[in-house]
Amino acid sequence: TNIIGAPAQPEPPALAALDGGVALTWPVDSAAAAYVISFRPVASNAYGPFRFVSGAQAGQVAITDLDPSVSYGVSLAALTEDE
């Protein structure tokens, strides 16, 4: 938990290539109600759609709608029930 009571910034997820996507794994914070994940094409300033994952489903997620010819930056943030 950080100074304002929100879950701490998660560790960077481990990434593994899948056919047509990527698998993300990360340690889950018990204080997190959910996580938000974003993949931003490196060559763009625009973010793609945010993906919300419940705390119960967090820790190991497959994203299957990414373009394999595009390099992405990934962002991961923990949320509380109030966010």
pLDDT tens per residue across span 11-33: 889 999 988 789 999 999 988 99
SS3 74: strand
Please give the Cα distance from 70 to 72 (Å, whole number). Answer: 6
d(CA 80, CA 56): 13
Interval 25-73: pLDDT, tens: 999 998 899 999 999 999 998 888 899 999 999 999 999 988 888 899 9
Which residue do the tokens 């820790």 mark? 59
Model confidence, pTM = 0.83
For 5-9, which contacts have Cβ atoms below 8 Å and span 24 or more sequence positions?
5/80, 6/78, 6/79, 6/80, 6/83, 7/31, 7/32, 7/78, 7/79, 7/80, 8/78, 9/77, 9/78
